[in-house]
Chain A
Amino acid sequence: MDYDFSEDVAKIWPALLFIGGFVAVVGGLLFVLDILPRWGKGKERLHMFGFLGPALILLAIGLVYPLIRTVTLSFYNNTRGKFVGLDNYTWIVTNDDTLIMLRNTLFWVVCVPLLATAFGLIYAVLVDKARGEGIAKSLIFMPMAISLVGATIIWKFIYAFREADQEQIGLLNQILVWLGMEPQQFLTSSPSNTFYMIVMMIWIQAGFAMVILSAAIKAIPAEIVEAARLDGASPWQMFWRVTMPSIRPAVVVVTITITIATLKVFDIVRTSTNGNFKSSVLAFEMYNQAFRLSDDPNGEGRGAALAVVLFLLVVPVVVYQARQLRKRAEIR
């Protein structure tokens, strides 16, 4: 092994330097705050600046200012450019490619939350109180821990394609061959490629749904379950009359959380097709316009407009979720 680590080790020093500096500054800050006047109205203002100030400054630079800037930028063609009014937005809804992109986004947002929640729910109910429940749940939940890039590579291997006269190395094409069909290029034909990518997202998100719904199922009061069983309820009745009504709020929260994650899906599309073969989605197109096509004079403005559209789509969903959560807190 002749790998030379010295260059890599050199990269760690700046990191250690910054962490050290950070610790020194924060430690010094806490020390100074300690010798300042103590508690009491008015006197706590200095402490407020000390504790809250750094975070607020970072939030102002890193989120609040960019937010405002992106909104204004969406009415310009680029960061140095001229005011173009609503041109960027009309481009989104009139251009053929962006319309396909919006359609794909719709496919994603409809399919992923529904199917991921459904699979998660079914699995959570089936393995509840079963032997080996912990391991069974870990298996489904594992995809949630790995990167979306890694997950996409896993699935690209499943979809791998070889000409019909060669031996298949992708499982799905091999199954097609076993069934006597022609092998296919799953990720290159639109619109079906979107659905093959949607499968990846369902595979990842079902674990999330399962863990949360499983916790909700376990929180159903034992008396209710017992009473239903004494009345002779079948498992089917049990599910629809006892389990479902009890966990409905959790189902809503899970569906919404997955919807938001799906609206922002980027890694899967970028790693699977790089947005080619008419497979782009909103969050990918935003990146594509703003950063990849940087020689396009309209790129940044259009990217900003796409970000604003994404924001506007996320907001009502989050507001709905916040209200659901509050409702649930009130019931408790």
Chain B
Amino acid sequence: MSNISLEKGKDDNAPEAGPRYKSGEVPANTMAGRVRRKLTSRTASVVSIIIAILWTIPTFGLFVSSLRPENDIKTTGWWKFFTNPSLTLDNYNEVVFGTSATSGRLASYFVNSLTITVPAVVFSVTLAAMAAYALSWLNFRGRDWIFIGVFTLQIVPLQMALIPLLQILGDYTEWGGGFFAVWFAHTCFGLPLGVFLLHNFMSELPKDLFEAARVDGAGPAMTFRRIVLPLITPALASLTIFQFLWIWNDLLVALVFTSGPDTRPLTVRLAELAGTRGNDWQRLTSGAFVSMVIPIIVFLSLQRYFVRGLLAGGVKG
């Protein structure tokens, strides 16, 4: 017992990162073993800290720069901020609300991004939930074949659909304020993954539930609304978050199915700024962060659901 507590005491002084095992487990009983373990754990923590720093610095540097005055950004490195600190929100103000031709006018594109994303998510998640219900709990011939077909569509790169779909949707460019084509495309592209993910979830609901509902006189539609939907809320949340971030961050579909400043989303505008005004770092740094605000909030607050959606949707696109 005393041996263990001694070990724990030592452990508390040691760097904490690196592989550690639950306290109370028997430590290696040789002196050499202990020394070696401690060295390994120190190396481990150093390596992991180095990786963490390497991974964080790029974002951190951009963030610091976005808060520096334009002249500072363009003439000195961001690390000079620490010896010569000066902060401003001017870059954000200019890139979001500036109305001159060269400024970002990102407020407008932010609205575009929302206007593209919210309806497309609503449409695809709703239709996917309905289809997944039919495929898991309604009986009809060929059900399994239809499911396999939808499942297989997941692997089709959306590049395969772009040219013909643009031709089809070319006739509807005025619909929905110009957003119809991009809503339609995102809804279609989101369906295979959505149906697959929700089918996995729904098919594992207990059969008794459905029999009980039937005995009580509920039809398939009422069972769907009253029983299935409430029970699959976690899966719906995962899918919604995944779809939301996917569409919000998308560039390719937006480039093909939107046109002009009235419908283009943030990603397209940023890519444009990076191309034509590649040295306007005061706009690029702050603009990049404007586009990241929503994903980062979603990511930090709903990380668990996001990871689950990601696990299921790794091959989308």
Contacts and interface: CB of A to CB of B under 8 A. Distances in A.
B288 A153 contact: yes
A130 interface: yes
A58 B177 contact: no
B111 A125 contact: no
A298 interface: no
Interface stretch (B2-10, B230-238, B298-306): B298-306
A128 B44 CA distance: 11
B311 A212 contact: yes
Given A234-B40, A267-B251, A271-B271, A126 B18 contact: yes
A44 B267 contact: no
A153 B270 contact: yes
A160 to B, nearest CB: 7
Interface in B59-96: 59, 61-62, 65, 73-79, 93
Contact of B36 (A44, A63, A225, A234): A234
B62 A157 contact: yes
Contact of B281 (A50, A138, A160, A171): A160
A13 B156 contact: no
A41 interface: yes
Contact of B192 (A59, A203, A290): A59
Given A44-B140, A70-B164, A58 B77 contact: no
B256 A291 contact: yes
Interface in B107-158: 107-108, 111-112, 114-115, 118-119, 122-123, 126-128, 130-131, 133-135, 138-140, 146, 150, 153, 155-157
Contacts of B281: 157, 160, 169
Contacts of B156: 63, 67, 311
A277 interface: no
A63 B153 contact: yes
B120 to A, nearest CB: 10
A186 interface: no
Interface stretch (A28-36, A97-105, A106-114, A190-198): A28-36
Given A34-B219, A261-B317, A167 B75 contact: yes
Given A67-B161, A142-B59, A119 B51 contact: yes
A159 B50 CA distance: 20
A34 B221 contact: yes
B227 interface: no
B131 A51 contact: yes
Nearest to A8: B111
B202 to A, nearest CB: 12
Interface of chain B, main secondary structure = helix
Given A142-B296, A157-B58, A211-B307, A62 B122 contact: no
A123 B52 CA distance: 9
A156 B292 CA distance: 16
Nearest to A9: B111
A168 B65 contact: no
A230 interface: yes
A26 to B, nearest CB: 6
A318 B58 contact: no
A208 interface: yes
Contacts of A206: 55
Contacts of B160: 63, 66-67, 70, 307-308, 310-311
A209 B99 CA distance: 42
Nearest to A38: B219
Contacts of A208: 310, 314
A128 B161 CA distance: 42
A79 B220 contact: no
Contacts of A150: 249, 267, 270, 288, 291-292
Interface in B14-41: 16-22, 25-26, 28-29, 33, 36-37, 40-41
A1 interface: yes
- The 3 A-B residue pairs whose C-beta atoms are closest, nearest first, are A62-B188, A14-B177, A147-B249
24 contacts: A7-B108, A8-B107, A44-B140, A47-B221, A52-B131, A52-B135, A55-B130, A69-B163, A131-B17, A139-B52, A142-B296, A144-B310, A146-B295, A149-B267, A149-B271, A157-B61, A234-B33, A270-B251, A271-B270, A283-B252, A287-B159, A287-B256, A307-B159, A308-B160
Given A44-B139, A70-B163, A235-B40, 17 more contacts: A3-B107, A45-B140, A50-B130, A62-B189, A131-B16, A136-B52, A138-B300, A142-B59, A148-B251, A150-B291, A153-B274, A158-B58, A171-B77, A203-B55, A263-B157, A267-B267, A311-B159
Interface of A: 1-5, 7-15, 17-19, 22, 26, 30-31, 33-34, 36, 38-39, 41, 44-45, 47-48, 50-52, 54-56, 58-59, 61-67, 69-70, 73, 79, 119, 122-123, 125-132, 136, 138-150, 152-158, 160, 167-171, 174, 203, 206-208, 211-212, 225-226, 229-230, 232, 234-236, 238, 257, 260-261, 263-264, 266-267, 270-271, 274, 283, 286-287, 290-291, 300, 303-304, 306-308, 310-311, 314-315, 318, 321
